[in-house]
Amino acid sequence: MQQYFIEGNLKDKLSFTLDDEIYHHLYHVLRSNNDTLFRIVDNGGSLFLCRLDGKRGIIVKELEEKRELPIEVTVILSLIKNERFDFCLQKLTELGIKRIIPYQAKRSIIKIKDEESKLRRYRKICKEAAEQSLRTFIPDIPEIIDLSKISQYKSTFNYLAYEKNDSNYIHYQKLHGSLTYVIGPEGGFEEDEAMTFIKNGFEAVSLGRRILRAETAALYVMANIGGVFEG
């Protein structure tokens, strides 16, 4: 069943007017008829089963579903080539990430010129992925950061995925509360950059014996978390 996020709040409402984008998608893309059922998540994160009625959505009932992970995960994700970065945004959203912080790493090939338009694009990818995966939360992408802001995004547990470390691993079973992990760009971290993370309380960890591409590394951590907390 199709799901959409809307800006407004539907608490105590019986129906609402569909915004143009949802209207277009339901009638012209999906070719839905009147009475088609769909899902709406409002700005309070509440989920409603709705029925299509012309230009309106009739609220059938509120749904109680648990789709979110019991641990809040933030990734500080180095900017990598556009299509690979977009791929990460989509897949990390499907896997239940809470927050994605694009990071201008020292070796990032991509340099962002227009931050606002990039962020808009990133957020759109996450919104669509959240709709598709029936989440009730769209991952937050507050800003693009550099090394000076990393400590703002720390959690209960903080890890730096660093392939030069080969003996320390994430103990997934022990995690609780929140977690931040950092993934480097295609060329890896510069040594002093890695040291800055470590000095700021990020623990260097290995993601196994093979060197993974940045996007594989980013997904590996989230998939493991899913396996431990939901498997």
**Does 161 interact with ligand SAH (rule: CB under 6 A)?**
yes
Stretch that binds ligand SAH, among 8-16, 33-41, 65-73, 210-218 (CB under 6 A): 210-218
Q: b vs e for 169-206, b when ≥16 Cβ sit within 10 Å of the residue's Cβ? A: ebeeeebeebbbbbbbbbebbeeebbebbeeeebebbe
Spatial distance between the Cα atoms of 144 and 79, rounded to a whole number of angstroms:
9
Minimal distance in Å, beta carbon 175 to ligand SAH? Answer: 17
Q: Contacting ligand SAH (CB under 6 A), which of 6, 119, 212, 228? A: 212
Strand order in the sheet with 37-41: 3-5, 37-41, 47-53, 56-63, 15-17
Q: Are strands 178-183 and 72-78 parallel, antiparallel or unpaired?
A: parallel
**Does 224 interact with ligand SAH (rule: CB under 6 A)?**
no
Q: Which amino acid is residue 102, in one-letter code?
A: P
Per-residue string for binding with ligand SAH, 170-209, x by CB under 6 A? -------------xx--xxx----------------xxx-
Minimal distance in Å, beta carbon 164 to ligand SAH? Answer: 8
By CB under 6 A, the count of residues binding ligand SAH is: 16
**Does 214 interact with ligand SAH (rule: CB under 6 A)?**
yes
Minimal distance in Å, beta carbon 88 to ligand SAH? Answer: 11
Q: Which helix or strand (DSSP H or E) is residue 230 part of?
A: helix 214-230
Helices (runs of H) and strands (runs of E) counted in the chain: 5, 10
Token pair of 58, please? Answer: 């009739």
The residue among 18 and 183 lying less far from ligand SAH, judged by its C-beta, is 183
**Does 88 interact with ligand SAH (rule: CB under 6 A)?**
no
User: Rg of the chain's alpha carbons, rounded to an integer?
Assistant: 20
Residue facing ligand SAH at closest CB distance: 184
Q: Contacting ligand SAH (CB under 6 A), which of 76, 95, 141, 217? A: 217
Q: List residues binding ligand SAH (CB under 6 A).
A: 161-163, 183-184, 187-189, 206-208, 210-212, 214, 217
